[in-house]
Amino acid sequence: MKIICAIGTRPEAIKMAPVILSLKAEPWVDVRVLATAQHRHMLDQVMSLFQIEPDIDLNIMRPNQALTTLTARLLLELDKVLLSEKPDVVLAQGDTTTVMAVALACFYHRIPFGHVEAGLRTWDMQNPFPEEANRVIAGKLARWHFAPTESSRQNLLREGIMDSDIVVTGNTVIDALLMTAAKDLELGIELDPEKRLVLITSHRRENFGEPFRNICRALQTLAARNPDVQFLYPVHPNPNIKDVAYEMLGDSSNIHLCAPLDYAPFVAAMKRSYLIISDSGGVQEEAPALGKPVLVLRDETERPEAVEQGVVKLVGPNYERIVEEAQRLLDNESAYQAMARGISPYGDGRSAERIVKVLREHFA
């Protein structure tokens, strides 16, 4: 019985690591790790942290890769892998181009595909782009839907997926977060211990261009108005982000730009932070569990649970909203405390265990 676990980007590696490690402890399954390496350095960072060695590495990433060629190259390489490996099941997580291509290649080869983090929807194909389309396609082709929450299960039912094919497992990101947060964490960047920290990440394709410049303008204003606050921004290497971030923020004395942090130092940064400003999916899930408020640089989210509980707020890539909401949280202690409650709507750290149980009961 052979299961391939496919990973392409940083968040897929973080969220699949607990599943891969749990499956490797099962005697009935031969687990093979397939790295498409849609990301290179950022994927390797996570695999080494969790001590996961890829059995197959497609080394797909090219500088500033375009969606069409990325998809085409993935399909051609995946075709060869599925023909030679002949897995009984393939698992992949989330909504990247890797996941969509893996689901499609499995469908063509009639290999059952299990979708981890199934059922997230904004119901808007343009937001996030191209992830909403990727997860709709992956969901349509999946045999098992491992939904993180009840609301993601409801989304799948609304699309006509059979209830018996859906299992609510929680999100494996909380498994990864708890495994990592339990270790001795070193941020590895010198910060002023007296000053509050605002942590920033941003990478969404729909924000490229003017929306991302608005985000940078808002950060410039916040940094200038709050010299007693330090801003840490590990910049995503996509050139559409990196070039603009360094051009617009490189000169601000209290904004520290750096390369993407390894996951353990990034968890340390989240724990050390006062406030997080981000458009990341994973960070929206992790920060509430650490009791950190998040301002989300998007107009919509497929993760409504934390917004409904009042610990995450959507501010869009909108200059006024970012400045106003961040300043309010920096100035107003009661507004801050209302958002800094530690809750974990996305999981309890046992999601991988539940996913493995479903597969064990089916196959073992």
d(CA 109, CA 83): 8
Minimum gap (Å) between residue 245 Cβ and ligand UDP: 13
Q: CA 157, 106, 18 angle in degrees (round to 5)?
A: 70
CB burial of residue 138 (10 Å; 0-12, 13-18, 19+): buried
Stretch that binds ligand UD1, among 5-13, 224-232, 269-277, 301-309 (CB under 6 A): 5-13
Alpha-helical segments (H) within the chain: 10-24, 41-49, 67-85, 97-108, 131-141, 150-158, 172-181, 210-225, 239-249, 263-272, 281-289, 304-308, 319-331, 333-339, 351-363
- The yes or no reply on residue 10 touching ligand UD1 (CB under 6 A) is yes
CB of 83 to ligand UD1, least distance (A): 24
DSSP, collapsed to helix, strand or coil, labels residue 250 as: coil
Distance CA 68, CA 72 (A): 6
Q: Should residue 63 be labelled a site residue for ligand UD1 when binding is judged by CB under 6 A?
A: yes
145 is catalytic: no
Q: Are 188 and 264 in contact (CB under 8 A)?
A: no
Kindly state whether residue 93 participates in binding ligand UD1, applying the rule CB under 6 A. Answer: no
Shortest Å distance, C-beta 317 to ligand UDP: 14
298 binds ligand UDP (CB under 6 A): no
- Give the span between the Cα atoms of 193 and 186, in whole angstroms: 14
The site for ligand UDP, by CB under 6 A, has a size of: 16
Say which of 32, 39, 115, 131 is annotated catalytic.
131
Site string for ligand UD1, 230-269 (x = CB under 6 A): -------xxx------------------------------
Nearest-angstrom CA–CA distance, 94 and 227: 38
Element (H, E) at 256: strand 255-258
SS3 category, 317: coil
Whose tokens are 């609510």? That residue is 168
Please select the residue that binds ligand UDP; options are 231, 266, 319, 346, rule is CB under 6 A. 266
Identify the H or E element spanning 33.
Answer: strand 30-35
User: Pick the catalytic residue: 95, 285, 286, 325?
Assistant: 95
Whether the Cβ atoms of residue 117 and residue 154 lie closer than 8 Å to each other: no
247 is catalytic: no
Give least dist CB 52 to ligand UDP, A: 15
SS3 278: strand
Helix (H/G/I), strand (E/B), else coil: 165: helix
Nearer Cβ to ligand UD1, position 39 or 298? 39
145 near ligand UDP, judged by CB under 6 A = no
201 contact, one of ligand UDP, ligand UD1, none, CB 5-8 Å limit per kind: ligand UDP
User: Segment contacting ligand UD1 (CB under 6 A): 58-66, 119-127, 154-162, 245-253?
Assistant: 58-66
Which C-beta is closer to ligand UD1: that of 62 or that of 362?
Answer: 62
**If you ran DSSP here, which 8-state letter would residue 207 be given?**
G
Q: Which residue has the tokens 């410039």?
A: 220
Selected binder of ligand UD1 within 13, 52, 117, 131 (CB under 6 A): 131
- Asked if 201 touches ligand UDP (CB under 6 A), the answer is yes
Which of the ranges 64-72, 191-199, 218-226, 250-258 carries the binding residues for ligand UD1, by CB under 6 A? 64-72
Q: Taking CB under 6 A as the rule, does residue 14 contact ligand UDP?
A: yes
Choosing from 87, 114, 130, 345, the residue that interacts with ligand UD1 (CB under 6 A) is 130
CA 289 – CA 117 distance, rounded (Å): 17
Determine which one of 205, 213, 217, 328 is catalytic: 205
Binding site for ligand UD1 (CB under 6 A): 9-11, 38-42, 61-65, 67, 70, 96-97, 130-131, 203, 237-239
Residues known to be catalytic: 95, 117, 131, 203, 205, 236
